Structure 1
């Protein structure tokens, strides 16, 4: 049995153009569907950003299981769904391309105990929400210290030493995995202004930020599109922020994590893109046509592309009544319920995904 994932490469955007950026930020949130966050009065800061900048209204996560879904953002494929992994995978990923370009990167992680920490969890930090460190490129001795506590960000801003590419993860409470949506909104409101005040996010700058949810609500939302109601990770909201982004824009083009990765690859002018990013179309409709580059020819796909992935066991969190530390339920990719036995796919005790 195979799990079929849709990579949306529509002709309308495949020939469009993405502005160049040397300052890309990817910020991830957890486990909430589009309808839970857009228009939610308990998230005033988030929704103000959605109105001021740009919102993807038809963006769908490729699958459930946080680590598996997040891998698509940095590798363009489901590298692993094992939440207990500490393996450094020799798989193409965004760090490999950054290093090839001579560009810098950092992963800013809330509650990471110290730079280069390789453990599964510490406090409210969990490794499964920090997928960028799971590759031979980022595990290398010269690179491992680029995974740093979030507190390092203030120092880097003060020293004018922020990286070309930054991957940012709040902790389990602040990313809405275990905490509330108001907590997530408060964290964004307290911490994003210092990033958006950087010169690259001023008019004429090249700053580019994505705020993306890993997956939708685990219990109820398995949509792949507005027509396909099951088999994927559900409908999620994705914000695109920056001076070169169309203001007050809403995109109704069908997108997923591979499209976001492709947009990063094109904006940073990589010679190629990891995994399914090679064939996915960039999210080019979000941008004004200034300081443009031409996407690679292999993006010119005029119909949806389906990529075959190996079947995995996907664990879905039980209803909230079981408590946030409750044992998750596990499903196969075909949707059959399995016993949750605490095997390798289950991670840190505060939920699975």
Structure 2
């Protein structure tokens, strides 16, 4: 696909000192699939994502760790690719991960996957669900009860655990369908949470597993919530920095390669 000219996006953020990280009541992380940053931010098929970018922080130098999909999900969730370099399934790991660290801190975690056949389902590829995109299903130190169908995403976001991941199905995550399909799904499914989050000290993170064909694996990453100073941030961000930021917010021990990453510390507003 031909590269687009410089896409429209949020105005640059005013420079300022890094602030202490907030502790959101809830964070929802949505992971989408296989698109370069310029296909998303400012693109005509991604009007809702572009509107979210204008409301929040968008990182113009955000990158995935590797190719293909699965090791990126593992990196984001556990700080390591766990030695996986393909999309094979199933795998089992017993290493620490974001879910175990949250549980140890008496905080909640759940992964909500669209088209997952049932809570705790351990199969690989039924229908439009792909276990490669739900890394918590690979960790034997997490109960099956954290692996939930998206139909169980609560209508009242106050019932969400502290940190949730949302994984659309293979069409709605843009893997097998176009950008406009995924963008419409996000508008339908996340607009209510975004509105609620702004009134309830909560946060939405949207990122991609990997690029389509960017030489540097550049992806779109957006963070939106009441504690975010909107703008276009040019610092380098990757999945390990996103994970380290979540760990820092809840004072969790950093996992794997996230130990070497600095948390994102300059996008936050002062005390409200």
What TM-score, normalized by structure 1, do the two folds share? 0.69
From 86, 90, 100, the counterpart of 2:90: 86
Is 1:169 matched with 2:151?
no
Q: How many angstroms does 1:24 deviate by?
A: 1.3
Q: How many residues align?
A: 257
The whole-number CA distance in structure 1 between the counterparts of 2:193 and 2:244 is 23
Equivalent residue of 1:286, what SS? coil
Q: Which has the larger radius of gyration?
A: 1
Q: CA deviation at 1:83?
A: 2.4
Identify the residue that residue 236 of structure 1 maps to in structure 2: 219
Cα deviation, residue 161, structure 1: 2.0
Q: 1:276 aligns with which of 245, 257, 265?
A: 257
Q: Evaluate the alpha carbon distance shift between residue 159 and residue 257 of structure 1 in structure 2; reply closer, same or farther with a 3 A threshold.
A: closer
Q: 2-side partners of 1:13 and 1:84: how far apart? A: 44
**Structure-2 separation of matches of 1:157 and 1:88:** 32
List gaps (5 residues or longer) in structure 1.
1-11, 224-233, 292-353
- d(CA) in 1 for partners of 2:158, 2:246: 22
Displacement of 1:116? 0.7
1:208-287 maps to which residues of 2 (within 5 A)?
A: 208-217=203-212, 220-223=213-216, 234-247=217-230, 249-270=231-252, 272-287=253-268
Residues 94-146 of structure 1 deviation map (CA, whole Å, 9 limit, x = unaligned): 011111011111111111011111000111000001112211222xxxx2122
Distance 1:159 1:278 in 2: 31
Unaligned runs of 5+ in 2: 1-14
Q: Offset of 1:69 from its aligned partner?
A: 1.1
CA distance in 2, matches of 1:159, 1:173: 24
CA distance in 1, matches of 2:215, 2:68: 12
The yes-or-no answer on 1:103 pairing with 2:85 is no
1:108-187 residue pairs with structure 2 within 5 A? 108-138=112-142, 143-153=143-153, 156-158=154-156, 160-187=158-185
Please state whether the residue corresponding to 2:70 is helix, strand or coil. Answer: helix
- Per the TM alignment, residue 13 of structure 1 is displaced from its structure 2 partner at its CA by 11
Match of 1:202 among 198, 204, 212: 198
- Describe the SS at the equivalent of 2:159: coil
> Do 1:25 and 1:208's aligned partners in 2 also have CA atoms closer than 8 Å?
yes
Match of 1:23 among 22, 26, 30: 26
Q: CA deviation at 1:85?
A: 2.7
Distance 1:104 1:278 in 2: 22
Classify 1:60/1:158 alpha carbon distance in 2 versus 1 (closer, same or farther; 3 Å). closer
Counterparts of 1:121 and 1:87, CA distance in 2 = 13
TM normalised by structure 2 equals 0.89
SS at match of 2:27: strand
Alpha-carbon distance in structure 1 between the residues aligned to 2:36 and 2:157:
37
Query: Does 98-107 or 15-24 show the bigger shift?
Result: 15-24
Could you tell me how far apart the structure 2 residues matched to 1:151 and 1:95 are? 20
Is the partner of 2:28 in helix, strand or coil? strand
Other-structure match for 2:55: 52
CA contact (8 A) 2:26 2:201 kept: yes
Answer yes or no: is the 8 Å Cα contact 2:67–2:85 preserved in 1: no
Structure 1 residue 77 displacement after superposition = 1.2
Post-superposition offset of 1:159: 8.3
CA distance in 2, matches of 1:13, 1:104: 33
Q: Which residue of 1 aligns with 2:9?
A: none
